[in-house]
Amino acid sequence: MKPHVLVVEDEPSLVEVLRYNLEKAGYRVSVAGDGAEALGGVRDAIPDLIILDWMLPKLSGIEVCRQLREDPESKNVPVIMLTARGEEADRLKGLASGADDYVVKPFSPAELLARVRAVLRRSTSSAPDETLVYRDLTMDLAAHKVSRNGRAVHLGPTEFRLLRVLLKRPGRVFSREQLLDLAWGRDIYLEARTIDVHVRRLRKQLNGPAESDLIRTVRGAGYSLDAGD
Ligand code: CA
């Protein structure tokens, strides 16, 4: 799946330049025009990297960055801060708020892309071998293994991705469209009902005869990982 970059910038011409260059370089791009929209967007789908303008309406880039770092869901998402300010004190303030890197406007697309690549490389290579756990369910992302109550659960690649999405945020209800986006990627067109088929398979593998159903169907809304007590 293409790495997802969230661009937070209120200046439409710069947004277009960034979107064009990032998409050409193989990234999937979403855009937020102000800080509040950025925080909302991150809550819906955690991006692989955020390009964050310092000067934004409503919330400043610095404040957005601080809030991202306070939320356990987004605290590890790399942030590149964009700013017109080249002062050393401002640079340090940006980094102190939790930004991973800093690009001063005006910059060339090539320069920004180089930073994007470097930051993404750092964040993926330093990521720990992550294990996701919910109740008696364990998913070892590095080894691509799932177990429940000590019993190995064998999942197909699609069910594995689906479970990973659910396991990252237990209790949260995902709509079918969100699951399609997160587990398949936005560019794939599938009937939302396809999700139901994969959820059924996932349940079958996950839930042993004497075990409770870990997946909750929320009528009219979607699915969540929820043991229901
Ligand atoms: Ca701006």
Q: Which of 70, 95, 123 is the last residue in one of the domains?
A: 123
Q: How far is the CA of 51 from the centre of ligand 1 (A)?
A: 12
Q: What is the pLDDT of residue 187?
A: 61
Average pLDDT over residues 85-99: 72
Reported pTM: 0.57
176 and 70 share one domain: no
Q: How far is the CA of 33 from the centre of ligand 1 (A)?
A: 9
Radius of gyration of the chain (CA): 19
83 and 179 share one domain: no
Handedness of CA 6, 158, 125, 135 (dihedral sign): positive
Q: How far is the CA of 27 from the centre of ligand 1 (A)?
A: 22
Q: How far is the CA of 121 from the centre of ligand 1 (A)?
A: 26
Task: Domain of residue 38: give its range.
Answer: 4-123
Closest C-alpha among 28, 86, 84, 18 to residue 56: 84
Q: How far is the CA of 82 from the centre of ligand 1 (A)?
A: 9
Q: What is the pLDDT of residue 31?
A: 96
Q: Which two tokens stand for residue 180?
A: 């399609």
